[in-house]
Amino acid sequence: MFELKTLGLFALTALAEIAGCYLPYLWLKQGKSALLLIPAAASLAAFAWLLSLHPEAAGRVYAAYGGVYIGMAIVWLWLVDGISPSVWDIVGSLTALLGMAIIIFAPRHL
Protein backbone atom coordinates (compact mmCIF):
# COMPACT_ATOMS: atom_id res chain seq x y z
CA MET A 1 0.00 0.00 0.00
CA PHE A 2 2.90 2.37 0.81
CA GLU A 3 4.26 1.88 -2.71
CA LEU A 4 0.96 2.79 -4.41
CA LYS A 5 0.49 5.85 -2.21
CA THR A 6 4.05 6.97 -2.92
CA LEU A 7 3.70 6.46 -6.68
CA GLY A 8 0.36 8.29 -6.70
CA LEU A 9 1.83 11.22 -4.79
CA PHE A 10 4.78 11.37 -7.19
CA ALA A 11 2.44 11.26 -10.20
CA LEU A 12 0.26 14.06 -8.79
CA THR A 13 3.37 16.12 -8.02
CA ALA A 14 4.64 15.68 -11.58
CA LEU A 15 1.25 16.55 -13.05
CA ALA A 16 1.16 19.78 -11.04
CA GLU A 17 4.65 20.76 -12.22
CA ILE A 18 4.03 19.89 -15.86
CA ALA A 19 0.71 21.78 -15.94
CA GLY A 20 2.32 24.74 -14.19
CA CYS A 21 4.98 24.92 -16.90
CA TYR A 22 2.73 24.06 -19.84
CA LEU A 23 0.27 26.91 -19.28
CA PRO A 24 2.91 29.67 -19.62
CA TYR A 25 4.20 27.81 -22.68
CA LEU A 26 0.73 28.17 -24.23
CA TRP A 27 0.80 31.90 -23.50
CA LEU A 28 4.37 32.47 -24.72
CA LYS A 29 4.49 30.15 -27.73
CA GLN A 30 0.89 29.80 -28.89
CA GLY A 31 -0.51 33.24 -28.18
CA LYS A 32 -3.05 32.09 -25.59
CA SER A 33 -4.35 34.39 -22.87
CA ALA A 34 -2.00 35.71 -20.19
CA LEU A 35 -4.73 34.73 -17.73
CA LEU A 36 -3.29 31.20 -18.00
CA LEU A 37 -0.52 32.47 -15.72
CA ILE A 38 -2.95 32.44 -12.77
CA PRO A 39 -3.68 28.68 -12.81
CA ALA A 40 -0.02 28.11 -13.75
CA ALA A 41 1.12 29.85 -10.56
CA ALA A 42 -1.43 27.89 -8.52
CA SER A 43 -0.26 24.66 -10.09
CA LEU A 44 3.39 25.39 -9.35
CA ALA A 45 2.50 26.30 -5.75
CA ALA A 46 0.66 22.97 -5.47
CA PHE A 47 3.75 21.26 -6.89
CA ALA A 48 5.98 22.73 -4.18
CA TRP A 49 3.46 21.81 -1.48
CA LEU A 50 3.07 18.25 -2.80
CA LEU A 51 6.85 17.76 -2.72
CA SER A 52 6.74 18.55 0.99
CA LEU A 53 4.31 15.68 1.64
CA HIS A 54 6.74 12.94 0.64
CA PRO A 55 7.99 10.98 3.67
CA GLU A 56 11.65 10.59 2.61
CA ALA A 57 14.54 13.02 2.95
CA ALA A 58 14.27 15.93 0.52
CA GLY A 59 17.33 15.01 -1.56
CA ARG A 60 16.13 11.45 -2.00
CA VAL A 61 12.64 12.63 -2.93
CA TYR A 62 14.00 15.07 -5.52
CA ALA A 63 16.23 12.40 -7.05
CA ALA A 64 13.45 9.84 -7.27
CA TYR A 65 10.90 12.42 -8.40
CA GLY A 66 12.99 13.04 -11.51
CA GLY A 67 12.26 9.51 -12.70
CA VAL A 68 8.52 9.94 -12.25
CA TYR A 69 8.64 13.34 -13.94
CA ILE A 70 10.22 11.78 -17.02
CA GLY A 71 7.50 9.15 -17.21
CA MET A 72 4.71 11.70 -16.71
CA ALA A 73 6.22 14.01 -19.34
CA ILE A 74 6.09 11.19 -21.89
CA VAL A 75 2.46 10.47 -20.96
CA TRP A 76 1.77 14.22 -21.38
CA LEU A 77 3.47 14.12 -24.79
CA TRP A 78 1.05 11.38 -25.81
CA LEU A 79 -2.22 12.53 -24.21
CA VAL A 80 -1.94 16.33 -24.39
CA ASP A 81 0.41 17.01 -27.29
CA GLY A 82 -1.00 14.12 -29.31
CA ILE A 83 2.43 12.72 -30.19
CA SER A 84 2.95 8.99 -29.88
CA PRO A 85 6.01 8.13 -27.82
CA SER A 86 8.78 6.28 -29.62
CA VAL A 87 10.16 2.99 -28.41
CA TRP A 88 13.15 4.96 -27.10
CA ASP A 89 10.87 7.33 -25.19
CA ILE A 90 9.24 4.35 -23.51
CA VAL A 91 12.52 2.53 -22.80
CA GLY A 92 14.04 5.70 -21.36
CA SER A 93 10.98 6.33 -19.19
CA LEU A 94 10.95 2.78 -17.86
CA THR A 95 14.66 3.04 -17.09
CA ALA A 96 14.07 6.28 -15.17
CA LEU A 97 11.16 4.71 -13.28
CA LEU A 98 13.33 1.74 -12.36
CA GLY A 99 15.89 4.16 -10.94
CA MET A 100 13.14 5.90 -8.97
CA ALA A 101 11.95 2.60 -7.53
CA ILE A 102 15.48 1.65 -6.48
CA ILE A 103 15.99 5.00 -4.75
CA ILE A 104 12.65 5.15 -2.92
CA PHE A 105 11.86 1.51 -2.16
CA ALA A 106 15.33 0.24 -1.21
CA PRO A 107 15.54 -1.11 2.34
CA ARG A 108 17.01 1.41 4.77
CA HIS A 109 19.04 0.66 7.87
CA LEU A 110 18.46 3.26 10.53
**pLDDT tens column, 17-68:** 999 999 999 999 999 999 999 999 999 999 999 988 887 777 778 888 888 8
Is residue 12 a contact partner of residue 50, using CB atoms and an 8 Å limit? yes
pTM higher than 0.85:
no
To the nearest whole number, what is the mean pLDDT of the chain? 90
Residue 110 lies in a domain: no
Per-residue pLDDT band for 77 (boundaries 50, 70, 90) equals very high
Nearest CA-CA partner of 65 in 30, 34, 104, 37:
104
Structural domain harbouring 32: 2-105
Least confident of 30-34, 87-91, 100-104: 100-104
How many domains does the structure of the chain reveal?
1
